[in-house]
Chains A and B, each alone.
Chain A
Amino acid sequence: MQRASKTNENNYKILMKDDEIVNKIDHGIVSVTILCIILGTIIGIQFKTVRSQITAYDIQRVSELSVKLNSAIAENDSLTKRIQENEKKITEYESYLAQDDKELKSILDESSEFKMLAGLTDVEGRGITITINDSPKAGQQNDGISTDAFLVHAEDILSILNELNVAGAEAVCINGQRIISTSAVRCAGSVVNVNDVKIAAPFVISAIGDPEIMEAALIFPGGVLDALKPWGIETTIKKLELVKVPGSKQQIDFKEAKPTTLGGL
């Protein structure tokens, strides 16, 4: 009897042990599984969070965009060339037609005059070119003085432009950008925007007009170039017998402005 109970007890003990082991393993797997689910949820959310972030510095995107920009520039160039060709053709046709028709000829003459007034035609004549470059001190360490002072700014170009116009300049261009009635010269960070085209130093301003008067207007003591001298900004003025100023390629669309009197010039 005692023996039997002992065996029973033993059996029970063994059973219990087995049970305990089973329980232990189950316990482990269950808790590991639960925490795995939590971990997985966090991983899933994090995965989504990272994916939703806009990777602004994605190099692939940058190179993709630069390729697109290059192709757009090339396309722009080819289209500009086509415009020039077509304009040439138009003038050819016009002159061909105007050979016999006197009325048409007078209209065309008038139109070319208007085009010149608007600054759409390439012009040439006596004039000056002014080259302005940043001061060599701009790249160096200047104690206490901002490097900005040694650079050519849009305001400097504007004041030169102003003086030239006062001195009777008939056509002015900056680095090949013709200045017309709607032209703007504007600071755009490290470069200058002229007619929405970015240009950088050295700035070459070509002006057609009386060279003597224009030069005098610029270099008189206390004048615009005098004010730039202390900063070491390099300016050179050349008086030339032939200055070429290209026509404006800008398109002016009048959206708001309307003429008040018809035919009143």
Chain B
Amino acid sequence: MLIPMIGLLVGIIIGVVCPYVLPASYSTYVAIGILACADSVLGGVRSNCFKKFNLSVFVSGFFGNAILAMLLVFIGERLNIQLSIAAVVVFGSRIFQNFAHIRRFWLNKGKKEDNIIM
């Protein structure tokens, strides 16, 4: 699990160093996309822990969730509702859930109990 974290750090450094800056008007879209991607990554780590990892599910989730979340923001802007809140709530809670699973997996690696069953 150390390698993905290093990868994340490397990515952040690349992003900060690279001279490209997104237009400010797309800032909401990117933020929602980041949330969706973070959820997917944590989900991937979690499924890795439980050896249920499926590459196609992971990759499709990574890009699909991000695109769907951005679409929600786009539609919300057109309809004048903050649909982004729906994405924030869902992905936010899922991030915590995924993290809880990973946490329990690592803490109870030896024992076979106290794992959240979903």
Contact = CB atoms under 8 A, between A and B. Distances in A.
**Chain A interface mostly:** helix
Nearest to A38: B11
Given A44-B11, A45-B21, A46-B30, A36 B41 contact: yes
B11 A25 contact: no
A36 B51 contact: no
A39 B22 contact: no
Contact of A36 (B7, B23, B33, B48): B7
Nearest to A54: B24
Given A31-B55, A32-B4, A40 B33 contact: no
Nearest to A52: B21
Contact of B34 (A28, A42, A53): A42
B75 interface: no
B27 A25 contact: no
A24 B50 CA distance: 12
B10 A37 contact: yes
A43 interface: yes
B3 to A, nearest CB: 5
Given A35-B41, A49-B21, A50-B27, A43 B7 contact: no
Task: Give the interface centre of A36, A37, A45, A50 by most chain B CB atoms within 10 Å.
Answer: A36
A48 B20 CA distance: 9
Nearest to B10: A37
Given A29-B48, A50-B27, A44 B12 contact: yes
Q: Please tell me the size bucket of the interface on A.
A: 20 to 34
B53 A39 contact: no
Contacts of A49: 21-24, 27, 30
Given A32-B41, A36-B41, A53-B27, A47 B58 contact: no
A47 B58 CA distance: 25
A33 B58 CA distance: 12
A24 B27 contact: no
A39 B27 contact: no
A66 B21 CA distance: 32
A27 interface: yes
B45 interface: yes
Contacts of B5: 36
A57 to B, nearest CB: 14
B14 A44 contact: yes
Contacts of B38: 39
B15 A44 contact: yes
A42 B37 contact: yes
A32 to B, nearest CB: 5
A41 interface: yes
13 contacts: A24-B53, A28-B47, A28-B58, A29-B3, A31-B59, A32-B45, A33-B7, A37-B11, A40-B12, A40-B14, A42-B37, A43-B34, A49-B23
Task: Report, nearest first, the 10 A-B pairs whose CB atoms are least far apart.
Answer: A44-B15, A40-B11, A28-B53, A36-B7, A33-B7, A37-B11, A41-B15, A28-B48, A40-B12, A44-B16
Given A35-B58, A40-B15, A43-B34, 16 more contacts: A28-B55, A32-B44, A32-B58, A35-B40, A35-B41, A36-B41, A39-B11, A39-B34, A39-B37, A41-B14, A43-B15, A44-B18, A46-B27, A49-B24, A49-B27, A52-B21
